[in-house]
Amino acid sequence: MIEQVEAAQRLFQHGGDINSAAAAFPDAPTPWVDLSTGINAVPYPALGIEPQRWTRLPSPAEIEALQTVAAARYGARPDEIVVAPGTQAIIQLLPRLFAAKRVGILGPVTYSGHETAWSAAGAAVRIAPDLAELAGVSHRVVVNPNNPDGRRLPVETLRSLARDCELLVVDEAFADFEAESLCDVLPPNAVVLRSFGKTYGLAGVRLGFAIAPAPVARSLRAALGAWAASGPALEIGGRALADSAWLAATRERLEADTRWLDGLLLRAGFEIVGGTRLFRLAARAGAGAAFAALGRQGVLTRPFRARPDWLRFGLPAPQDRARVEAALQASVFTSIES
């Protein structure tokens, strides 16, 4: 029982922890339906990798080729692109390259990886409830769109934030389907992070990008060292980022999928309080009981200690819809009984 309680507590830390979910709900049916992340459940078809990608180290020319494709996708210059094994690697590096006594992160609830990285480097981190609270802080972090509520700041607001600080980090992990990006006109003291795995449903590839002024980009590349991404990741990333037709079709599918999920959540007594095309944030009295009821059905969502009335739902794959719908119906009855 103690192990189950400890495992359940770990589920508040981040999404995707299926091992802890299985320990917390040992009788849940498998395979699990993981809705606890914002990862696209219909991945880009990463097939037909050239055999030599597995057997030799990637060349600088191959990395530069991906920088060129990523620059075209994100509206930047190739020398502003940094290829990394996921944006989390860059999040860990930034505090080492840009030492800070104080860091302000726009909240009140946001992705916790930024706070963890800056705190580990010795900075005093303030989670600012609003923009005014960032005044006077030299290093600022904004997740845009925000995770988990989908809050979006206009680009002009971000540029204003950059004007009176030393470093502005803008995490655009969920921005691939947004109309605006800070990459379009990059401030000289800004670093933008772009995820690959979320939009393209290939988190296991471990690929991500920083977009930064050329001198900062060079420093980040040097800190990451040689071969920061694998050969297969370079091939898959280049192919996917150049595929505009797939991205457009995915946008249309996700718009329909979010409408379906919103309707399902509303019928289950939730209120939609935010989200993006890759996840929805829903509120309901008894959300904790609903989280547990869903878990017992093998459906993992994302709870929040700071907001016990919230659950975040990723979008299920089409083949998992019926199971998610049945689990949500069961959660309604469980909450009533509670």
Give the mean pLDDT of 257-261: 98
pLDDT > 90 in the chain, percent: 92
Q: Two tokens at 260?
A: 């379906």
Asked if residue 333 has pLDDT above 80, the reply is: no
Q: For 4-15, how does the pLDDT look when each residue is reduced to its tens digit (9 = 90+)? A: 878 889 998 889
Write the pLDDT tens digit of every residue in 103-160.
Answer: 999 999 999 999 999 999 999 999 999 999 999 999 999 999 999 999 999 999 999 9
- Is the pLDDT assigned to residue 165 strictly greater than 80? yes
**Spatial separation of the C-alpha atoms in residues 97 and 91, rounded to whole Å:** 11
Q: Is-above-0.75 flag for pTM?
A: yes
298-332 confidence digits (pLDDT tens): 999 999 999 999 999 999 999 999 999 999 998 87
Cβ neighbours, 10 Å, residue 269? 17
H runs (alpha helix) in the chain: 2-10, 18-24, 52-55, 60-74, 87-97, 113-120, 155-163, 197-200, 214-224, 231-241, 244-267, 287-296, 321-337
Peptide bond into 154 cis (omega under 30): no
Q: Which two tokens stand for residue 209?
A: 């990008």
Mean pLDDT (whole number) for 257-282: 97
pLDDT averaged over every residue in the chain? 95
Name the residue with higher pLDDT: 51 or 338.
Answer: 51
**209 closest CA partner among 70, 38, 43:** 70
What's the confidence (pLDDT) of residue 82?
A: 98
Q: Which residues are paired to 311 by β-bridges?
A: 282, 303
pLDDT at 337 over 60: no
Burial of 56 (0-12, 13-18, 19+ CB in 10 A): exposed
Phi, psi at 221, each rounded to 5°? -60, -40
pLDDT digits 0-9 by tens, 78-110: 999 999 999 999 999 999 999 999 999 999 999
Per-residue model confidence (pLDDT) at position 336: 45
Q: What CATH class has 56-242? A: alpha beta
The predicted-structure confidence for 204-251, as pLDDT tens digits, reads as follows 999 999 999 999 999 999 999 999 999 999 999 999 999 999 999 999
Report how far apart the first and last C-alpha atoms of the chain are (Å, whole number): 21
Q: For residue 3, what pLDDT is reported?
A: 82
Indicate if the pLDDT at residue 265 is higher than 70. yes
Which of 246, 251, 247, 242 has its CA nearest to residue 70? 242
pLDDT recorded at residue 334? 57
For residue 162, pLDDT over 60 is answered with yes
pLDDT at res. 302: 98
Domain boundaries, the chain: 2-42+246-337, 56-242
Lowest mean pLDDT among 3-7, 47-51, 163-167, 179-183: 3-7
Report pLDDT for 338.
47
Instruction: Check whether 258 has a pLDDT greater than 50.
Output: yes
- Domain range 2-42+246-337, CATH architecture: Alpha-Beta Complex (3.90)
Say whether the peptide bond before residue 108 is cis (omega within 30 degrees of 0): yes
